[in-house]
A and B are shown apart, each in its own frame.
Chain A
Amino acid sequence: MAHDGMKFPKLTPKHVTEASLTQTFSRRAFALGAIQGGVGALLVGRMAWISIADNEKYALLSESNRVNLTLVPPRRGWILDRHGKPLAKNRTDFRVDIIPDRLRNKDAVIGSLANLLSLSPDDVERIREDLENSAGFQPVQVADKLSYEQFAAVSVRLPDLPGVAPAQGFSRDYPAGPTVGHLLGYVGIASAEQYKERKDPLLITPGFKVGKDGLEKSFEQNLTGKPGAKRVEVTARGKVVRELTTRPDTPGNSVRLTIDAGLQEYAGRRLATQSGSVVVMDCQSGDLLAMASMPSFDPNSFSDGISHAEWNMLSEDDHVPLRNKTLQGLYPPGSTVKPMAALSFLEAGLGPEEIVHCGGAISVGNGRFHCWKRGGHGAVNMRRGIAQSCDIYFYVMAQRFGMQVIADMARRLGLGQKFPLPYPSQNYGTVPDPAWKLKKYGKEWQIYDTVNATIGQGYMLVNPTQMAVMAARLASGRQLMPQLVLDPRRPAPAPLGVKQEHLDIIHEAMSAVVNGGGTGGAARIAVPDILMAGKTGTAQVRRITMAERRAGVRRDASLPFKLRDHALFIGYAPFDKPRYAVGTIIEHGGHMNRNEDAPMISGDVLTYLFDPAKALEKLDTLEKQWGGPPNQRLAEQMQTYRIEKGLDPAPPGSGNAAAVPAEDTGQEAAD
């Protein structure tokens, strides 16, 4: 004891007895009881703090747990043609998206989705790629246009598919497919940049699309409606227990275009397998009735999210299906400028009957300039100069009147002019004159520049819309402006300020081009009593050397596609009462195939306006030789491309599978 005590002096005992221990126990048991009571009071206090003082905060948190507020993407406004026929509409759609942020076990989820929805390897690859590039909060589309069975199959397996969001909504539908691709553009999921900029949750709502190109982009604000909202009760695993309240969306406004849907589709189809464009304009109002640029992409498939292979195919195609040729394509106008040049000569005082002798070539300065006809045309007046497209006549007259006269008239008729059309990307081309050349190249204007310009070569560049404007202004004698949005109250355009008798001379000559044994006979309209007036054009894209000229100019058919001449045509009908004007260009067409050449295409397109049945009958026959309508050819091209590239051919019917149920009928009411 003493030993212990010495070692641990602090424990040296006071006197302990049984009684004192019991007393200690009672004291300490009481203390324990007090502590327990204290802890109990503390817990009640804590609970009161959470449930009374912080009640509002936690009630809110509980509510935001329980209630999932989802935006209902607004139905997009329709795009209508001048008669109210839809060019772009909405279609009920079952779709499935992935929200990358909520995705766990990516491979397993994609695997089971591929299985459930029978996705092609191409789709799977596209989804993986989109997932990698996505910003996490952006939904990635898995598939749309699903059948109800497929939609239901995914919906019931949701608890095992975290991050997968099936939805019933509307998707954009372009009934005319590729023929309206460039006209309307397409829609797609908003980019991460757009979301970061605007922070609008609507942008990352599955199923919501924004305009990506063309009119869909230009009229974005107008077409986008106000989103609805749906409150649903969800479990922690995201399973919807029940719907609480729903506020319907407000569809976007529709946009009514000047376009004639039937004509637009006809023109697109009539361009056949060529790379080209047709622009048709109303000669009274300036309304654009058709702006076809082919080949094109299918806006339906672009709006669904395009596969890598499809994109590659389109961007590698030498027929440039990704360029809207009607506004972005620039071409030397070739001989289509001759009526314009002739008008400028008349206005400058030239008599229409003055004769030029065409011997096939003349010397200008140091060079020798040839007529397209090697033997020459002999005696040529203005009418014959236009009808036979004699180059020598224009070489001579252009030298007499000078470039400025021609350039001024070209601009009055719309060449080189900017038109306020609702497209973000347009090219306006060039009408060259001495001042322009000096400014651009720092060089003096030369006489041979004038000679080149008068046959639409050299520096001169136009786009097909300008060609149509030129044709319409020549036809009407009015300052028509191309219009794309229908507005019946627009005031009539002012006159050009050229003499009607001069126009009559030009009209007569242009009619002779088509109906009087001229170069444009193929453009004749197949409707009795309606005469087409027009002008053909050929634009060289290569230089013909003296050596080649001696040996005989090579035929286009022997040249590679890119070196062939462009084929052009401007025209209007009826020749004596101008109603519709057309501008057509076939890139590298080389006048190799009469059926697919600019004059006949132009003639058929205008024929459609006077007798649609007749025009369609002809087209249906022709189209069989070309491998069917554009969407069918596009699908076949895709298939061939896949095989060439050693990719799995897409399963039949994928992409535009599954019969689609009722259309969005709420639209008519909203109009």
Chain B
Amino acid sequence: MSIVPSPIANLPWRLMMLVTAIALFGITVLYSAASGSMTPWALNQLVRFIVFAGMALVLSRIPVSLFATYAWPAYGAIVIALILVELIGGVAGGSQRWINLGFMQLQPSEFMKPVIVLAVARFYARLPVGEVRRWNAIWPALLMIGLPWALVIVQPDLGTATMIAAGGITVMFLAGLPLRLFIGAGLAVAAFIPFAFMFLLHEYQQKRVLIFLDPESDPLGAGYHISQSKIAIGSGGLFGKGFLNGTQSHLDYLPEGHTDFVFATMAEEWGLVGGALMIFAFLLLFRWGLRVSTRAKDRFSRLTAAGLTTTIFFYVAINLMMVMGLAPVVGIPLPFMSYGGSSMLTVMLCLGIIMSIAREAKSRGNRLL
């Protein structure tokens, strides 16, 4: 039909352009955060993006069934890794979140974010249709989510644990469990939060939450991150201070300006316009992911595509709420923007799997996308 070979023509070009645009913008921000230098962040990030984007394209060529097959073994392996981390951490003393493999540090909880979606989706895909509204459809999934959640929360890593739980529960929700279960559980959790705050959170976590509620109470101490982040965003105004002109980031007032608070760095220089464009770009990405899910032919693909999209959404939402002072400071980076390898890897894993689902949906004659 066309001079372009079909495997290339069939690549999701619009999505790739969208993601590349976001990532390049992120690299631009990192360039500015380093006071107009490709090192130490921008260049690394660019290389990473190319490598992981390539990996995502490779993943997109893998049949979805293979992901389904390996969902549970992968889940099991990561749970074991989490337990290992806990044991090693216990020996080393203090909180430890990674296993040192010698050549790299492996943070298993990071992988659990997409894998929990695959595992729960796999569970519901295999569940006979008639069982969906029975207890048998609930407790195994809860167990599946609860185990890694518990392992991560004792690390302690509140942000990642929340994302694991949210990812799994999203799949449960999409799988068609009775709505009133979620409403009831939501109310129960709301009632449980004060108790959890008093007895389950570490002191530093409690402090973070309290300061989130009133950051001005301690502007130089633990509230410093949120205060400075809001100052960066607020002082940017509508159009920002201009590229390379941010003072909060360049004069080091904004902590973590190249990682978790990269959005504030961006907003200071690009203003509300830049921020709104970014949020819009992310919304386009989510819309694509959800569309893939509705067009997918089998249950596993549907649940996985929507679940992984929501996982990316959680990254973005939690991070942005955090930098804008709507959520406590939890270490959740902003996909494609924050400097760092593991979050980029996770998000690209998600994208690769969704692209694979999209490819299969398309190849079955659905060319609407």
Contacts and interface: CB of A to CB of B under 8 A. Distances in A.
A17 B282 CA distance: 34
Given A33-B287, A65-B248, A52 B129 contact: no
Contacts of A63: 235
Interface string B310-337: 1001000100110011100000000000
Q: Is the interface of B mostly helix, strand, loop or mixed?
A: helix
Nearest to B173: A28
A13 B177 CA distance: 11
A21 B251 contact: no
A21 B234 contact: no
B146 to A, nearest CB: 19
Interface in A50-77: 50-52, 54-55, 57-59, 61-63, 65-66
Interface stretch (A41-49, A274-282, A297-305): A41-49
A21 B134 contact: no
Contact of B326 (A46, A48, A65, A66): A46
B231 interface: yes
Contacts, number: 156
B232 interface: yes
Nearest to A54: B234
Interface string A21-32: 110111011101
Contacts of A61: 231, 234-235
A55 B237 CA distance: 6
Most B CB atoms within 10 A — which of A50, A237, A241? A50
Contact of B290 (A33, A57, A59): A33
Contacts of A17: 129
B68 to A, nearest CB: 17
B80 interface: no
Q: Is the interface of A mostly helix, strand, loop or mixed?
A: helix
Contact of A58 (B135, B231, B321): B231
Interface residues of B, number: 56
A275 B293 CA distance: 101
A62 B232 contact: yes
B3 to A, nearest CB: 36
Contact of B174 (A29, A40, A46, A59): A29
Contacts of B174: 25, 28-29, 32
A317 interface: no
A44 B150 CA distance: 33
A21 B324 contact: no
Interface in B129-183: 129-130, 132-136, 170, 173-176, 178, 180
A25 B290 CA distance: 11
Contact of B272 (A10, A36, A40, A52): A52
Contacts of B233: 47, 50-51, 58
Contacts of B230: 50, 58
A236 B299 contact: no
A415 B324 CA distance: 79
Interface residues of A, number: 48
Nearest to A53: B234
A474 B175 CA distance: 117
A358 B133 CA distance: 137
Given A26-B294, A236-B252, A55 B133 contact: no
A4 interface: yes
Contact of A28 (B133, B176, B282, B283): B176
Given A13-B130, A47-B276, A36 B237 contact: no
B251 A16 contact: no
B234 A25 contact: no
A40 B279 contact: yes
A493 interface: no
Interface in A198-249: 233-237, 241
B234 A32 contact: no
Given A17-B129, A29-B174, A59 B234 contact: yes
Contacts of A4: 134-136
B328 to A, nearest CB: 15
Contact of A29 (B293, B299, B324): B293
10 contacts: A4-B134, A18-B129, A21-B176, A22-B302, A24-B176, A25-B294, A30-B290, A33-B286, A59-B235, A66-B253
Given A29-B294, A51-B271, 10 more contacts: A25-B176, A29-B302, A30-B290, A44-B272, A52-B238, A55-B237, A57-B234, A59-B237, A61-B235, A65-B228
